[in-house]
Amino acid sequence: MRLVSCSVAAAIALLAHPAAAAETVKIGAVFSLTGNAAAYGAQQKAGVALAADEINKSGKLPGITLEVVLEDDGTSPQQGISVFDRLINMNKVSAIIGPTLSTLAEAADPRAQAQKTPVVAVSNTKPNAITTIGDYIWRVSLTEAQVIPSAVDIARKKLGFKTAAILYGNDDAFTKAGFDVMKSSLEKAGVQILGIQTFSTKDRDFNAQLTALKGLKPDVLLVSALVEQAGSIAVQARQLGYTGPIMGGNGFNSTKFIQLAGPAAEGVLVGTAWNRASLDPVNQAFIAAMKARGVDPDQFGAQAYTGVLVIADAIRQAGLKGGRDDIKAGFAKVKDLPTPLGKFSFLPSRDGDHPAAVQIVKSGKFEILE
């Protein structure tokens, strides 16, 4: 019955838009399929392919077929730029999803901006960057500045902490930015900050700082550090007998952290953009569909999948038109779109806006804190 109504709808659409009947909208997908970031690229490729297939089968875009043109940026800015040029000028794609890393996006996105080709960043998290390249650059992935405030809020509701201490690297832009966000989110949430200590990126000994902070007896210890130091900090904090919760910035959001910290990683909290455990039917369907294709989805897969949904919705919002400027105009109208990441909208800054979640390390694995 559903099939019949679908095909009827499709037939009506065909009659109504005879010219658009055979329209194929090409979407470029640029991911790091080889090189350092290849682990992320594989997830992103699977997420994009699944989303395009589902949209084409669903008839959500009557008269339009999405065609994904997949390219490998080799985790190299030079290759990223040449792949962007090829997609924009030779393949004439309507929009580009990617590239995987922020550094590559900063190199390649200006090419798309210059040629007025919309880009959807699905994994770039550098705050106050990427979307600042121009009005054709949009972002699905939440930045550090967006994840930490919600993560602090969620953790505070679960753990009920009233006081906190912060340890951060003060000579690195990323960890310093993370600290600024942590401090302001704690203040906003009414959590009293008992003490703040710093370290430098070359430090390996954090005993003095941790002892000083432990002596203040905070309810929670927040740490903004790169993954190399995150592991040592967790180990040393536990060795000194600190038993309270530890909450890390995005630097902790890596299995490398668990590997370096070992048993000391247990119970550590980290914010994340994708709530894997969300019972939202869109999320559940996404996980099931990815698993059916033999892929165990992670945050990168979910964000890439959402990137295609966002483009499809932009095409719909633009009146089923798949030109470059139609899609760009459509992005602005995307509002509360159901995705595996939750209800998705764009902020005026063209950065994505959706709920974040908190992960906790349990038996050597990240799990969603529920």
CB of 37 to other proteins, least distance (A): 14
| Contact between 240 and other proteins per CB under 8 A | yes
| Contact between 205 and other proteins per CB under 8 A | yes
Grouping H, G, I as helix, E, B as strand and the rest as coil, residue 82 is helix
Give the footprint of other proteins on residues 38-67 (CB under 8 A).
Answer: none
Q: Which amino acid is at 64?
A: I
In the set 79, 232, 272, 359, which binds other proteins (CB under 8 A)?
Answer: 232
Structure tokens at 43: 């997830």
Which residue, among 180, 169, 175, 162, has the nearest Cα to 244 in the 3D structure? 162
**Binding region for other proteins (CB under 8 A) out of 104-112, 153-161, 237-245, 288-296:** 237-245
Please identify, using beta-carbon distances, which residue of 119 and 227 lies nearer to other proteins: 227
| Contact between 296 and other proteins per CB under 8 A | no
In the set 202, 243, 279, 294, which binds other proteins (CB under 8 A)?
Answer: 202
Please identify, using beta-carbon distances, which residue of 135 and 205 lies nearer to other proteins: 205
Judge residue 56's burial from the number of C-beta atoms within 10 Å of its C-beta, 0-12 exposed, 13-18 middle, 19 or more buried. middle
| Contact between 170 and other proteins per CB under 8 A | yes
Which residue, among 73, 151, 158, 155, has the nearest Cα to 111 in the 3D structure? 73
- Report CA torsion sign: 31, 32, 38, 40: negative
Which residue, among 124, 182, 174, has the nearest Cα to 155 in the 3D structure? 182
In the set 8, 39, 208, 277, which binds other proteins (CB under 8 A)?
Answer: 208
| Contact between 236 and other proteins per CB under 8 A | yes
Query: In three state form, how does the secondary structure of 329-346 look?
Result: HHHCCCCCEEECCEEEEE
Give the footprint of other proteins on residues 258-277 (CB under 8 A).
Answer: 259-260, 262-263
* Residues linked to residue 24 through DSSP beta bridges, in sequence order: 65
**How many angstroms separate the CA atoms of 246 and 223, rounded?**
7
**Binding region for other proteins (CB under 8 A) out of 138-146, 150-158, 191-199, 300-308:** 191-199
Residues that bind other proteins (CB under 8 A): 170, 197-200, 202-205, 207-209, 211-212, 215, 227-229, 231-232, 235-236, 239-241, 256, 259-260, 262-263
